[in-house]
Amino acid sequence: MNEAESQSAALESYFIRHPERSQSAGRVGVFRAMPGAYLARFANGAMQCLQSYRLLADDLTRLGFEPVVGVSAPLDLAIVFATKHKEEVLYHLALAAERLEEGGDLIVSAANTLGAPSLERRCTELMGNAESYSKHKCRVIRAIKQQAGLNQTLLDTWRQAGEMRQLSATGLFSCPGLFSWKTIDLGSRLLAAHLPAYLTGRGADLGAGYGYLSREALRRAPGITELHIVDAERKALDAAELNLQGLAEGRSLQFHWADVTAGLPFSGLDFVIMNPPFHAGRGALSALGRAFVRKALMALKPGGGRLFMVANRHLPYEGEIEAMSGEVLSAVQEQGFKVLVARRITD
């Protein structure tokens, strides 16, 4: 099991051990909700599932739980799933505590590899009480909201630190939970430096994040008439919309909350730019990046369209390009990265 599956299994195991904790719950909110057997316990209740990552949101929808963009108060039970983004987890803890009614339960499911022991200490700091249960290499932490014991200063600090805001270091809107959210990724900066001013026509930024590459392309190339900004994380698209304000200037900017690997709703592009992800969870998985390469080449005009991408130098994307009837036109290596320009030769 991966971390998400383990955390879901641990939570269900906890509810089997303490059935009253789910049976007595009325209004339930789940932050970074994961698919799992625990969901069936709340199928007939008032449940809000916060999940802004498209693949998991689609999984929840198939199970009959429509994801929400925000969890509203009041709640009798708040469930928080840990992620690798510590500031985001603390933000969700603060929101959960804020939305809970007095006497309501806060339950956190955290894999040991995501710092479960530290997270239990944080829950105790915030709530003034906490107990834990271990299963599936995870820790399920429970705290009860008692206003007298709540650390309101800590709650306010964590909530403010997790909100979308413009960062002075980059000038860009961002928030915890996004890739390289505080600093512009070195690979993206290298690719931006190699983007030509002659880009024209219709293009796309795949896995666009908060829109840095899109911004640089639009600034450099006035000939761009249409740009599709695609990311699986809805919060990233929210940030990208803010960061691209004022750059349309009569050009069409279209934002897609979508999984690139599942297919793209456009084709016949003149160019694609991307810094493809190559991680699944906490482990490297180059297959994800290779899938991005395939979808990017398929979206291009045969012959004339160009793919501009950056990747870690060791990743074998040239072979994927050749397998897709493409060719690498140029390759520049800098600081452990490679910037590739490629095209698809035939249909």
* pLDDT above 90 coverage of the chain, percent: 86
189 and 297 both lie in a single domain: yes
Instruction: Supply the pTM of this predicted model.
Output: 0.94
End-of-domain residue from the set 128, 163, 198? 163
230: containing domain:
167-344
Residues 231-271 have pLDDT tens digits of 999 999 999 999 999 999 899 999 999 999 999 999 999 99
Question: Minimal CA–CA distance to 14: which of 104, 139, 123?
Answer: 139
Query: CA nearest 13: which of 144, 143, 137?
Result: 137
* Gap between the Cα atoms of 205 and 67, Å rounded: 25
Question: 268 and 176 in one domain?
Answer: yes
Say whether both 148 and 171 belong to one domain.
no
| pLDDT of res. 325 | 84
Q: Which of 163, 178, 193 is the last residue of a domain?
A: 163
pLDDT, tens digit, 9 for 90 and up, residues 266-314: 999 999 999 998 754 444 457 888 999 999 999 999 988 999 999 999 8
Element at 254 (helix H, strand E): strand 252-257
Tally of domains within the chain:
2
* Same-domain check for residues 124 and 273: no
C-alpha–C-alpha distance, residues 261 and 315, integer Å: 18
Print the SS3 string covering 275-341: CCCCEECCEECHHHHHHHHHHHHHHECCCCCEEEEEEECCCCHHHHHHHCCEEEEEEEEECCEEEEE
Q: CA-CA distance, 191 to 205, in Å (whole number)?
A: 12
Q: Bridge-partner residues for 28, per DSSP? A: 47, 77
41 and 173, same domain (yes or no): no
For residue range 25-73, list pLDDT tens digits in order: 789 999 999 999 999 999 877 899 999 999 999 999 999 999 999 999 9
Do 235 and 260 reside in the same domain of the chain?
Answer: yes
Longest dimension (CA), the chain: 69
Closest C-alpha to 250, from 222, 269, 271, 272: 222
CATH number of the domain to which 215 belongs: 3.40.50.150
Q: 147-157: b or e for each residue (b if 16 or more CB lie within 10 Å)?
A: eeebbeebbee
What is the DSSP annotation of 54-104?
HHHHHHHHHTT--EESSPPSPEEEEEEE--S-HHHHHHHHHHHHHHEEEEE
Encoded amino acid at 192, one letter? A
Domain boundary among 163, 180, 210: 163
